[in-house]
Structure 1
Amino acid sequence: MPRKRSPDDGDELLVRLGSLTAQARQRAELQRTQVELAIALQRGMLPRDLPSASGVHLAVRYAPANFGLNVGGDWYDAFAMPDGRIGLSIGDVQGHNIEAAAFMGQVRAGLRALASVAGEPGELLTRTNDLLLSLGSDLFATCTFLRLDPATGVLESARAGHIPFVWATADGKSGIVEDEGGPPLGVQHGVRYPVTRHRVTGGGVFVLVTDGVVEGPSLAVEDGLDQVMRLAGIAAVAGLEAHALAGAVIKGAESVGHEDDAAVLVVGLDAPGGP
């Protein structure tokens, strides 16, 4: 015959359930605190202001991951260089935690510090790669770095494992930049990163994104880049402002179903006869 349960058995079960519930709440609160700390850390490391130059328009957008505890190390940056050119970078650190957000700060700071002594974007990525390897971290980062000369419209780019960026012109042409690139930063010693040179025409735009914008469960990266390219083409022909294009691109990231951070950096030049 089955043993009859005493009232004490029920009380003990309730006590155990209460204890498990309390532990679960504590873990959830700890995880929530860690996520909030990582997001605050990440946002605090992103630039508050963007450089200004005659005829050049910069716009950025950033959206944190909206899935579980995925808080990554995506970043964008833009700053004036000593020679009057503008340095621009966008990238993504491997991992989704506080360590990734902190490592992102190291990469961004390293790029800024070395940009004043490196000769060109390729050399800058090489020096940054060597610096990160010397730190002995297990993390790595993908990155694209651009150097724009506002006076001539010449744009030099180098890419370290990052997804390619998109371009469009006011006469209706658009495409995805096809450059050689190199491996992510912090992976391999002795890497040299090729440099690709472009000329930004009046009314032209370049759009740089992290993979949270163009890749996810609902969208393949190729289709995502095509979507950004179409938006850039429409914006360039219609003469939309850079911030409007950046907003449209980050809005499109919602259809990706992304489980990663999403960052957008738009570079535009005034059309001939424009303000």
Structure 2
Amino acid sequence: MTQSNHPMPRGASSDPLGDELRAELSRAMELNGIGGFVWDLPSARVMLDPSALAIFDLRPDEFDGRISTLYERIMPEELTGIRARAADILANPRDSTGCGNYFRVRQSDGTIRWAHSQAALLRDEAGNAVRAVGVVRAELQYAEKQSILESDRRRQAGVVEATTSALSQALSVEDVLAALTSNQILGPVGAVGISLTVLEQNRLHRLASAGMPFEYVRDMEYGRLDDDRPIAEVFQTSSPLFITRENIRLNYSMLWPYIKGTGFTVSAVLPLMAQARLTGVLAILYEEKRSFSPEERNLLIALSATVAQSLQRARLYDEEHAMAVGLQQAMLPAKIEPVPGMCVAARYRPARAGHQIGGDWYDVMPLPEGRVGLVVGDVQGHDIQAAAVMGQLRTALRAYASEGHPPAALMSRASTFLRELNTDRLATCVYVSLGPATGQAEIVRAGHPSPHIRTVDGSAALTVEGGPPLGLPLGLTTGLPDPGDVPYPVHYLHLGPGETLLLCTDGLLEFHDTDMAAGERQIEILLDSGPGDLDQLAEHIVAAIEDRQGQEDDVALLLASRGGPRSAAASDVHRYSARR
């Protein structure tokens, strides 16, 4: 903006000192990178002094005096906001203060710099804005601050992403605790220690901790609501505490002896609120950090809400899972009675994914003439109805077996029974009638995986021709009018002394990243490498699936071997494996 020369009043003497000071003022603005501008609003013309032109990287001979030319140098992201704020101010006839704007300018070489403008409005007697007069300056430090803020925003986004990712995989309370105390959360948060405490029967109970002083972990697992500790205070007030080392020394004498010998500097003690209920308190410890910025406090409070929701969801899951597991267990045999001349071991493992119960079952049934019936089956579905149908079908099978029906007839009757329940549920099943004294076995299967056998020569799957699943409508099977005529071929086998027969549901053979053929091979390897003791062999097999991620189906396993009576009680070989 060129300086205007106002005529001196007639008779007034010149003011050399004033002229010198005005020149110095103009030079001071130029030296400090501050430029001036005047924007004539009716004509949309704008005048810039040399310093202002330099900020926009314009030479005097290339600036045409149009505001649109300046707008071309301003980054579009900021220009939208500048225009909106200007429109609001111009529309208010009482506003003469103008406004300030931070914005980015693209230089002729493509580089970007931050600038700031501040302007005041001049209005005519009618209140119409006629000019905007102001200054503009380069903002090198503002660019640095923005870079730091952007880095902080990225770090905070990383913390949120890491915490959310870790907790999204947690189903049970145990999973939540493992996630909270892992480096997956501690690392991004930048903390050295963390603990989670809940209230049980008006008593503080620390559920998990990591990086906490050993003596504190040992002595402070339980506590009282009136303890002289920040955790107890947060339980009473439901408000977060951000405390320093000095705060603890002065105000929490009970905690100070555990802290004074450590490098602890500050801590965030956060209430875990879910649906307006306090479910626990999360304490996060830091070293070297001196204080919490407002942004950090808001971030930690937001993270505590995420933890609270995860903890509440996990507790609900654990309760429902325990109820479902208990119902499923009640549907299975309470114990396996000893079978003379045989060893038998059984396991049941509920699915990891979800809390629904399934229709998998096993049974060992005494038969006429000293024989024994071995059965493993699976009712379609994972819900209470599947478990109820399983209980009815298992009872029907035991009744038919006790009447002495041969295996093929037993399977046909069971299919008819399930069909007449009108549940629209199907079931698969494998049944073995075995004579412990002779080893003679008859096997039938209804849409179920074939048994496996371990002999002195190794392990293999038996090739057992099968019939249709139980309960399948007759029109979809053979078209025969008499339900009893549905064919279930019988496979005859001699089980030698010391040989082991394995029956299982498909949950043991097939899961999300493995097909049935690979599962069959794995079972053969497990049988070959497993111990001779049947109970230990059952543990060996189910341990192989314990670490599967996303196991979506239940597992029922039944092992039978000809041999002398075991020394262990019958209840020792029957276990309901419900570990998650």
Fold shared by both chains (TM-score > 0.5)? yes
User: Which amino acid counterpart does residue 184 of structure 1 have in structure 2?
Assistant: P
**Match in the other structure for 1:242:** 534
**Match in the other structure for 2:459:** 174
Q: CA deviation at 1:231?
A: 2.0
CA distance in 2, matches of 1:153, 1:224: 27
Q: How does 1:40-55 map to 2 (within 5 A)?
A: 40-55=326-341
Asked if 2 retains the 8 angstrom alpha-carbon contact of 1:38 and 1:101, the reply is: no
The SS at the match of 2:538 is helix
Between 1 and 2, higher relative CO (CA 8 Å, sep ≥ 6) is seen in 1
**Match in the other structure for 2:561:** 268
Q: How does 1:195-214 map to 2 (within 5 A)?
A: 195-214=490-509
Asked if 2 retains the 8 angstrom alpha-carbon contact of 1:41 and 1:102, the reply is: no
**Match in the other structure for 2:377:** 91
Query: Hey, which of these two has a bigger chunk of strand by percent?
Result: 2
- Partner of residue 132 from structure 1, selected from 418, 427, 440: 418
1:153 aligns with 2:445: no
Among all aligned residue pairs of Structure 1 and Structure 2, give the percentage whose two residues are the same amino acid.
38
CA distance in 2, matches of 1:254, 1:31: 19
In structure 2, the CA distance between the partners of 1:211 and 1:263, relative to structure 1 (3 Å rule), is same
TM-score (norm 2): 0.41
CA distance in 2, matches of 1:121, 1:108: 15
User: Which amino acid counterpart does residue 449 of structure 2 have in structure 1?
Assistant: I
CA distance in 2, matches of 1:143, 1:249: 20
In structure 2, the CA distance between the partners of 1:206 and 1:18, relative to structure 1 (3 Å rule), is closer
CA distance in 2, matches of 1:233, 1:43: 30
- Partner of residue 192 from structure 1, selected from 478, 487, 497: 487
Q: CA deviation at 1:53?
A: 3.0
Asked if 1 retains the 8 angstrom alpha-carbon contact of 2:356 and 2:382, the reply is: yes
Asked if 2 retains the 8 angstrom alpha-carbon contact of 1:167 and 1:176, the reply is: yes
Asked if 2 retains the 8 angstrom alpha-carbon contact of 1:121 and 1:145, the reply is: yes
CA distance in 2, matches of 1:184, 1:216: 21
**Match in the other structure for 2:522:** 227
CA distance in 2, matches of 1:18, 1:232: 50
Deviations 1:141-163 (A, max 9, x none): 11111111011111111101111
1:62 aligns with 2:331: no
Q: CA deviation at 1:255?
A: 5.1
Q: CA deviation at 1:245?
A: 1.2
Q: CA deviation at 1:83?
A: 2.3
Q: CA deviation at 1:117?
A: 2.4
User: Which amino acid counterpart does residue 157 of structure 1 have in structure 2?
Assistant: I
CA distance in 2, matches of 1:33, 1:139: 27
1:123 aligns with 2:416: no
Q: How does 1:92-107 map to 2 (within 5 A)?
A: 92-107=378-393
Q: CA deviation at 1:114?
A: 0.8
**Match in the other structure for 1:12:** none
From the CA coordinates, give the structure whose radius of gyration is larger: 2
Asked if 2 retains the 8 angstrom alpha-carbon contact of 1:140 and 1:185, the reply is: yes
Comparing 158-167 and 249-258, the one that deviates more: 249-258
The SS at the match of 1:87 is strand
Q: CA deviation at 1:192?
A: 1.8
Asked if 2 retains the 8 angstrom alpha-carbon contact of 1:69 and 1:96, the reply is: no
User: Which amino acid counterpart does residue 267 of structure 1 have in structure 2?
Assistant: A
Q: CA deviation at 1:264?
A: 0.8
Comparing 157-166 and 110-119, the one that deviates more: 110-119
The SS at the match of 1:76 is strand
1:253 aligns with 2:253: no
